[in-house]
Structure formats: structure tokens, C-alpha cells
Structure 1
Amino acid sequence: MSPRVVLVGPPGSGKSTVGALLARRWDVGFRDTDADIAAAAGMTIPDIFLTHGEDHFRALERDAVATALATHDGVLALGGGAVMADATRALLADHTVVFLSVELTAAVGRVGLGAGRPLLAVNPRATMKALLEQRRPLYREIADFEIATDGTTPEQVADEIARWTGEPAVIRVGGESDGYDVVIGPDATIALTDHLAGATRAAVLYSAPLEAHAARVAAYIGEHVTVLPVEVPDAESGKTVDVAARCWDRLAEAGFTRSDVVIGVGGGAVTDLAGFVAACWLRGVPVIQLPTSTLAMVDAAVGGKTGVNVSAGKNLVGAFHPPRAVLCDLGTLATLPEPDRVAGLAEIVKCGLIADPVILDIVEADPKAAIDPTSPQTAELVRRAVAVKAEVVTGDLRETGRRAILNYGHTFGHAVEKVEHFGRRHGEAVAIGMVYAAVLGRLTGRADLVDRTRAILTAVGLPTGYPGGRWEELDAAMRLDKKNVGDTRRFVLLDDVAAPVVVDDVTPDLMLAAYREVST
């Protein structure tokens, strides 16, 4: 038995209030070790201090924490000073610990003049300042993650803890009547049956590496619909008109109607293809996306863009066809080879650069955790990246304006993919493209984010440069970029972090100069 989460933090951080909210939310018990101590001693905490002294209280506290950790399976809050004991910190090593941090002014305001808190009975502000300085390093030493409670409500803190500890997040894309949900969390696949209403058949598109997972999906929904498994070639080789035509032939043979549903199980290439197949069959049938890679979860499966590649370039043929739902089952990320997980981080970093700087902070604070598919950081990064895309797409489904900012780094990145005949991972190409865009930004008098961009990408193992000698091929590929208007080249650049702009004033000389810098 083990607590679902252990809350630590100084007086005034809201452990008891937040803990009770979480317990009700999860339908589990809430336990506070200070309350346990008072009940066992038959007197209040101040009376224990007054009668027996602090050393006696700390001994009771160590025993209470050990007992609660071994016997409680709900939400547990520890007293502010519990972390001072080496033995207690050692016990917490195997548990999920959240540090609720609070700055001095807010902490003093919340605890008042220290009523009921023995250590704050004299000069609360000075004492609180000393306690914060002494204990903050210890809280951080044992915590799996830290949440600042300043300027937030207990409900907001509880929401954030729930996300970090694996509770599925649901992000709405589009309006209430014409939008769809993106569900993010472990075992999100179980929501699939909620979205099969009206269907009698479901075509499950997958590539060979996902055969076992697709079979599990088919078995799960087999009681509700007739399942048509459709294997397609892996990666970008499956995103062709010929492959799509073979899928349509399979749908015709199975008698697919407009009430039936296509399900895409796989990475970005499969979800793009599944969406395109669904968009064109009978001029549009529902599609549900089950992305299995980081890249697909935060980019390809969300937003309603579908498409295939042609010899002239990537995604030049396609349609806007929003899915019925997107189910991001974080459990599938553990099955990915590390290079694929790393590549997917490029799109997440992009979202941090164009809209959500907290993403950059999370990656910079712990790059290894950002790569670990089981870490709470990964879940939070996916959630934040999806939220960025959802906000942009909701306001501009068909890329007539602001949606273009999602292409930051993609102009050069798509060119790299084309000249390498799609043999390089999309995320790796986008990473190089973001460095190119950062250099262009500096050369055009905007923010100089080159060093920070390189450092973040390098920290997680993404490339930041590209070989020289291929400018003519790359330049030709960029001429076919979807953002271009007529003969006018357009780039997404950054005036600053979270301040993207679409520009058309980049001269050929500057484009070449940026390439030379990226290629050294």
C-alpha cells in the first residue's frame, strides 16, 4: 500500500486544502500527519510543543509519517518540518511527492500571526523567512515536481497535480457543437468506445510495427463494431495516393457507409493517411485518431490537417477534415525507440518557442525527464503542446491566418526532408529548421534566440546543423512551401519567445547567409 501522492511544503502552502480537494476528486481518503499526531497524543500540536518540547514532537512525527506511508493509499499531507529528518526523507524516496511552494509574503498572509503554529508564535515573518530558506532545498530534494501556489486557487493547484500524476487531461479543439476532444493520459484508449456511436464498421489503419497494438484495439472494440484491419506501409512511404487508393478499395469491399468510422493507429504518417482516406471516402466519413508517437500526439493527429506526399513535396495533397476524437495513450510512448521519442520533442519545443515558455523551462530543468516516456514531465509537455495547437487551430482551422505560426521551423525542415527523400525523421528536420529560423530572426533584426534554441535541442539529443553544399536543392524545395503567396517567400520568425510573426521581407542573401551559419 502506498499513498497516491504525498504533499509537502511550508505552512501556508495549502497542503490540507489542496489535499482534501484531490481526495474528493479521486474518491480516496485524505490524511494529514499533524492530525494523526494530535489524535494519538490526545492533545493539540501547540500543547505537545509546550508540554514535551520540539524534539518529542519530531519523534512522534517520524513515527506518524512512517505509519501513514505504509498504511494509507489516498492523499497524504506532511507537516511542514517533516522533511528535516533524514529518515523521513529516505522513506519518501519511493513515493510520488509534490512540493507546494509559496513565497514569503503569500505564506505569511495565509498563516496570519501564527495561531496554532508553535514555531511561528514569535515574529512570524522573520521566522517564516528562515524556515523557507532552510527547508526549500530539502523539499526540492525529495519532490518529483514542484508547483507554485502563489496567485492560484486551491482548485487550480489540484488540477495541476492531477495532470502531473497521470489523470487524463481533456482538451477541446473547436467549438462545443463542431469541435472534438483530445484525451491525454495513460490508457486513454479506453475512451474509444465512447466515440463509435452509429458505426457498424471500423477500419483500423496501422503499419507493420504496430500490428500487435492494432490487434488489441480491434479486440477491444470488436463487440461494438465489425473491424476491418488495414495494414499500410510504414512511415512516409505509406503516405501516397496509391496507398490511399488501396485503402478506399478495401472500404468499398467492406461496404463502408458514411456512418462507419476510420481509426488511425500509429505515428504521424499513419494518422495523416487515415485522415485523408476518411476525408475523401464518400466525401467524408468520421475518423478517430490513436496516435502512438510523441510527434503524432502533439502535431499530426491534432488539428484536422490530412494529406499525402507527392514527388514535388510533402503534404502538398490533402484536405482539412477534423477528427471525431484524438486519444493520446501515453502508455504507448514507452514502446518507441528513444530516437523516435527524441524526434517528437522538436514539435514540443516549437510550441514552447511560439506560445508557451513554460515548455522550455520544463525541458531545460530536466532534459532526461523530458525524454522519459513515464515521467510526469512528459505528460505535462504533451498536454501543454496539445493545448497550444488546440488554441491556434480553434481560431483558424483552414490556415488562413494565425495557424501559420505552427509552421515555425518547418519551411527549412520540410526542405531537408524532401532533399533527403523523407529518409530523415520529421522532428530532426524541424529541429534543424528551428535553428535556421532562429538565425534568420537574428539576421533580420529580431530576437537573438540562436544560442538558447541550440542549447535546448542539444540537451535532448536533437540535431542543430546541416551539411553544406546543398543550398540549391534546399532553396528549390522551399519555393514550394505552403505559406508562400505567389512568388513571395514567407517565413515564421520570432520577435521574442512566444511572439511569432509571419514575414515576407527575407532577402535571398539572408536566406543563404542563414544556411551557411547552420551548415558550419
Structure 2
Amino acid sequence: MSLVVIVGPPGSGKTTIGRALAEALGAAFRDADADIVATAGKPIADIFVDDGEEHFRALEREAVRRAVAEHDGVLALGGGAVLAESTRKLLADVPVVHLRVDLAEAVRRNEIDKGRPLLAVNPRATLRRLLEERLPLYREVADIEVDTTGRDVADLTAEIAAKLAVRTVVVGDAETPYPVLIGRGTVDRLPEFLGKAARVAVLHTESTALLAERVGALLPDGVEATLMELPDAEDGKTVAVAEQCWDALGAEGFTRTDLVVGVGGGAVTDLAGFVAACWLRGVAVVHVPTSLLGAVDAAVGGKTGVNTAAGKNLVGAFHPPRAVLVDLDNFATLPRRDLAAGLAEVVKAGFIADPVILDLVERDPEAALDAANPVVAELVERAIAVKAEVVASDLKEGGLRAILNYGHTFAHAIEK
């Protein structure tokens, strides 16, 4: 396997969870602090006392540099390793897991482990300071963030392993290619796609309000979240609702560098994309589809729109998202009927360009309707890959992309 790096504050469980994760992945484990001890020939506490923190940090930078270059497997870094800009640059292209822990739990764990020189005096106050100072740096390098407070090692290991098993499809349209992340916990990757945003508008319906709140909580300090609840389903895809959103963006002072996030089914992502496309003639949008149909259809491809008296989706814009985060955990509570509706879109992609999709569904139809089954991830990835290939060659539906309308024309006429 390739390298996975674990970072976090003292007491977050980097070594314990790192070892368990390595075992679960069938990989080797390496601890950068252990490398430093081996090089110096004495414990870290003695390095601090004899040579000072500056010397220790120099040893740490070199140990991390060597380990990142040499190691295939799981690598745990010391709590302060991210202080070095050179280390943060090294981690830019490496999967990094940030283990978070609250202050009380960190104090309790560090009272058991007495070998931490920075915590020798007033450990509670020191830990509070370290947590506050280093959190932005951990989040800067992290791809995955997990709270270890009060959690079982086995559960944490399973969660991290699932989040590492993320599939990525790149939609390479002629303007700006963007990734579609498919896996469990992908919504936690939102901070990677904030750009320079100081404000984030999260558009959602009542049924996705809790997830929208979670999205807002993912934002780092200094980035403000504004949650906007929309009417459910097609009732939310109107010019009037879009206008309400624009008024709210104006009241919040949204600029071109800010971000819109659509959290919900296809109707929500359609409207979120349209709102983003029109505000200041275009701001970035990230989609978090919560239905199988929305994930494989509306959220990918850059089509946005609203319904009018003239018909469905006749008013809209082509506005590709910055990213699409398909979190398979969101499908767990979907009714079977909704999963079947999404599966129909998946099967359509199979007929268009990928017969393996048809084979997988025909081989085990029940597995294809079980959101917890690994085959669903493969089906979603394959269906999105079909759409991505078509969109890349014909973003604005001048020719080939019309095949994606397979069934839409008559269906929309019947609905009207």
C-alpha cells in the first residue's frame, strides 16, 4: 500500500490507532518519534533537557523527511511535527488522518503517560494552548479528521479504513476539471475545497438539516456558515426560491471568493448550482448529494436549473461544481423505493457505455439495493465515470451529451 500519515495532539492516540490501522490494512507501522529516539540514542525527554527544543525539532524534521520518502504503510508523527512548514509541504500529496481529542480526554490520557517534556509543568493549560495553536495546522494538512474522544480503537480503525477507501472520478470538462469523491465519510473532506472562502452558504431541505449543520461545523475558524432551508423536492426549484437565496447572500455580503454548498437530492443541487451560477455572475459550488439518483445524475455534469410554467429545467446555466462529495453513509436511511429510482439511472449508464454495470446488477439485484454493500460503491463509481466521460467531451450538450437524456424527454413531458 501507499503511505498514510497520522497527525494529532498529544494524547489523541496516534501510536495506538496507527498500529491498529496498519494491522487492519495489512501494512507496516512506523513512528517518527521512535526514529528520533533511535537516531539520538536517548529518550525525547532527555533530548529536550540536554539539547533544547530547537535541536529536537531539527531531528524531527529530518526523521519525517526520511520516513515520508522511505515508508510504505502507516506513519505516526509527533504532535508538533506540523509546526514545520517543510513538513506540511511534504504532506501535501500524502493521505493524512487528523486524530482530534477534547481537552479533558487529552489531559486524562497524558496523566497516564508521563514522558512528554512539553507537558511537565501545568499540563492542562499547556494542552489547551497546544490544541488551540496547532488545530489550524492539523486541519491544513489533513484529508480525514476523526474525533477519538471516548471512542473504541476498533471502531475508530474501521471508520478510518473506510474513509481511506475513497474512489475518485475526475470530470475533465474543457473549463476546470473537478473531482467526484465516492466513499464513506467524504463529506468530511469539504474543508479541502473551500478555496479562499470566508463565507459558505449551505442550501438544504428540512430532511437534510442535520447533515447541513454538520457541514457547517466542519468549517475552520474564520469561515462563516449560513444555512438556508429550501422547500422540499421540486417545490424548491423555482425562481422565487432562488431569489430568496440571492437576497440572503446579499445580506451576508457574499463575494466571488465565497462558496455555495448544496446538501440534498437532485432538486437541491440543481437549485444550489443555479444560485451559485447567477450570483455575481458565478461563484463556486460544492455538491453533497444525499440520494443515489442525485449522486449519479444531477450533482455531476454542471447542469443547473429551475422549473417555470413553460416547463421543467428550461431556465438554468451550465456551471460545473468545484467538487462533488458522494458520501455513501447518506444512503443508509434511504427508502428502498428511492434506492431503486437511483439504480435505474445507474442501469441507464450501463446501457450507454458500461456493460459491467448490467452484469453486477443482474448477478445480485438485492446487493445493488443494499446501501451497505460494497457493490454499491462500484456501481456509483462506474455510473459517474460514464457521465464524466460524456460531459468531458460535450459539456454544453451540443451533441453526444444528448445520450444522457435517455428517457428524460418523454418523462418530463408526462410529468408536465
Range class of TM-score, shorter chain: 0.5 to 0.7
For residue 233 of structure 2, what is the aligned residue in structure 1?
235
- Residues 237-268 of structure 1, C-alpha deviation per residue, up to 9 Å, x if partnerless? 10000000000000000000000000000000
For residue 38 of structure 2, what is the aligned residue in structure 1?
none
| In 2, Cα distance between equivalents of 1:397 and 1:276 | 16
| In 2, Cα distance between equivalents of 1:274 and 1:398 | 19
The yes-or-no answer on 1:314 pairing with 2:312 is yes
| In 2, Cα distance between equivalents of 1:197 and 1:258 | 11
The yes-or-no answer on 1:373 pairing with 2:374 is no
TM-fit CA distance, 1:177: 7.3
Q: Quickly say closer, same or farther: Cα 1:165–1:377, change in 2 above 3 A.
A: farther
Question: Does the CA contact (< 8 Å) of 2:173 and 2:393 recur in 1?
Answer: no
| In 2, Cα distance between equivalents of 1:228 and 1:375 | 35
For residue 28 of structure 1, what is the aligned residue in structure 2?
27
- Matched residue SS, 2:263: strand
Alignment-mate amino acid for residue 27 of structure 2: V
Matches within 5 A, 1:296-307: 296-307=294-305
For residue 218 of structure 2, what is the aligned residue in structure 1?
220
| In 2, Cα distance between equivalents of 1:268 and 1:28 | 39
Question: Does the CA contact (< 8 Å) of 2:173 and 2:391 recur in 1?
Answer: no
| In 2, Cα distance between equivalents of 1:209 and 1:165 | 24
Unaligned runs of 5+ in 2: 1-21, 30-72, 74-160
- Residues 432-469 of structure 1, C-alpha deviation per residue, up to 9 Å, x if partnerless? xxxxxxxxxxxxxxxxxxxxxxxxxxxxxxxxxxxxxx
Q: Quickly say closer, same or farther: Cα 1:25–1:313, change in 2 above 3 A.
A: farther
| In 2, Cα distance between equivalents of 1:164 and 1:243 | 37
- Residues 347-402 of structure 1, C-alpha deviation per residue, up to 9 Å, x if partnerless? 10110111111111111111111010010111111000000000000111000010
Q: Equivalent of 1:200, from 191, 198, 201?
A: 198
The count of aligned residue pairs is 265
Q: Equivalent of 2:249, from 248, 251, 259?
A: 251
Q: Quickly say closer, same or farther: Cα 1:188–1:324, change in 2 above 3 A.
A: same
Alignment-mate amino acid for residue 370 of structure 2: D
Alignment-mate amino acid for residue 411 of structure 2: G
- Matched residue SS, 1:221: coil
Unaligned runs of 5+ in 1: 1-22, 31-73, 75-162, 419-520
| In 2, Cα distance between equivalents of 1:304 and 1:224 | 29
TM-fit CA distance, 1:219: 1.0
Q: Quickly say closer, same or farther: Cα 1:298–1:178, change in 2 above 3 A.
A: same
- Matched residue SS, 1:340: helix
Q: Which structure carries more relative contact order (alpha carbon 8 Å, separation 6+)?
A: 2
Q: Quickly say closer, same or farther: Cα 1:166–1:298, change in 2 above 3 A.
A: farther
- Residues 151-192 of structure 1, C-alpha deviation per residue, up to 9 Å, x if partnerless? xxxxxxxxxxxx999811111111597210000000011211
| In 2, Cα distance between equivalents of 1:227 and 1:164 | 28
Question: Does the CA contact (< 8 Å) of 2:163 and 2:183 recur in 1?
Answer: no
For residue 470 of structure 1, what is the aligned residue in structure 2?
none
| In 1, Cα distance between equivalents of 2:378 and 2:397 | 26
| In 2, Cα distance between equivalents of 1:324 and 1:224 | 21
| In 1, Cα distance between equivalents of 2:174 and 2:277 | 21
- Matched residue SS, 2:332: helix
| In 2, Cα distance between equivalents of 1:25 and 1:301 | 33
| In 1, Cα distance between equivalents of 2:221 and 2:208 | 21
Question: Does the CA contact (< 8 Å) of 2:163 and 2:186 recur in 1?
Answer: no
Q: Equivalent of 2:292, from 291, 294, 298?
A: 294
| In 2, Cα distance between equivalents of 1:164 and 1:199 | 29
- Higher Rg: 1
| In 1, Cα distance between equivalents of 2:308 and 2:173 | 33
Q: Could you state the TM-score of these two structures normalised by the residue count of structure 1?
A: 0.49
TM-fit CA distance, 1:312: 2.1
Alignment-mate amino acid for residue 350 of structure 1: K
Q: Quickly say closer, same or farther: Cα 1:202–1:416, change in 2 above 3 A.
A: same
| In 1, Cα distance between equivalents of 2:23 and 2:195 | 31
For residue 183 of structure 1, what is the aligned residue in structure 2?
181
Alignment-mate amino acid for residue 165 of structure 2: E
- Matched residue SS, 2:235: helix
TM-fit CA distance, 1:24: 11
| In 2, Cα distance between equivalents of 1:177 and 1:217 | 27
- Matched residue SS, 1:172: strand
Matches within 5 A, 1:48-63: none
- Matched residue SS, 1:413: helix
Q: Quickly say closer, same or farther: Cα 1:360–1:184, change in 2 above 3 A.
A: same
| In 2, Cα distance between equivalents of 1:399 and 1:319 | 12
| In 2, Cα distance between equivalents of 1:343 and 1:270 | 17
- Matched residue SS, 1:335: coil
Alignment-mate amino acid for residue 341 of structure 2: A
- Residues 409-435 of structure 1, C-alpha deviation per residue, up to 9 Å, x if partnerless? 1121222222xxxxxxxxxxxxxxxxx
| In 1, Cα distance between equivalents of 2:247 and 2:163 | 44
Question: Does the CA contact (< 8 Å) of 2:191 and 2:220 recur in 1?
Answer: no
For residue 330 of structure 2, what is the aligned residue in structure 1?
332
Alignment-mate amino acid for residue 302 of structure 1: V
Question: Does the CA contact (< 8 Å) of 2:201 and 2:259 recur in 1?
Answer: yes
Question: Does the CA contact (< 8 Å) of 1:164 and 1:377 recur in 2?
Answer: no
Alignment-mate amino acid for residue 204 of structure 2: Y
Q: Could you state the TM-score of these two structures normalised by the residue count of structure 2?
A: 0.61
| In 2, Cα distance between equivalents of 1:381 and 1:164 | 17
TM-fit CA distance, 1:27: 6.6
- Matched residue SS, 1:317: strand
The alignment yields a C-alpha RMSD, in angstroms, of 2.3
- Matched residue SS, 1:336: coil
TM-fit CA distance, 1:335: 2.0
Q: Equivalent of 1:359, from 339, 351, 357?
A: 357
Give the ranges of 4+ consecutive aligned residues of structure 1 lying more than 3 Å apart after TM superposition: 23-27, 163-166
Matches within 5 A, 1:79-478: 167-174=165-172, 178-221=176-219, 223=221, 225-418=223-416
Question: Does the CA contact (< 8 Å) of 1:307 and 1:316 recur in 2?
Answer: yes
Q: Quickly say closer, same or farther: Cα 1:25–1:387, change in 2 above 3 A.
A: farther
Question: Does the CA contact (< 8 Å) of 1:164 and 1:379 recur in 2?
Answer: no
Alignment-mate amino acid for residue 183 of structure 1: L
Q: Quickly say closer, same or farther: Cα 1:164–1:220, change in 2 above 3 A.
A: closer
- Matched residue SS, 1:215: helix
- Matched residue SS, 1:307: strand
- Matched residue SS, 1:211: helix
| In 2, Cα distance between equivalents of 1:397 and 1:302 | 11
Alignment-mate amino acid for residue 288 of structure 2: L
- Matched residue SS, 2:218: helix
Question: Does the CA contact (< 8 Å) of 1:166 and 1:376 recur in 2?
Answer: no
- Matched residue SS, 2:297: helix
TM-fit CA distance, 1:28: 2.0
Question: Does the CA contact (< 8 Å) of 2:163 and 2:185 recur in 1?
Answer: no
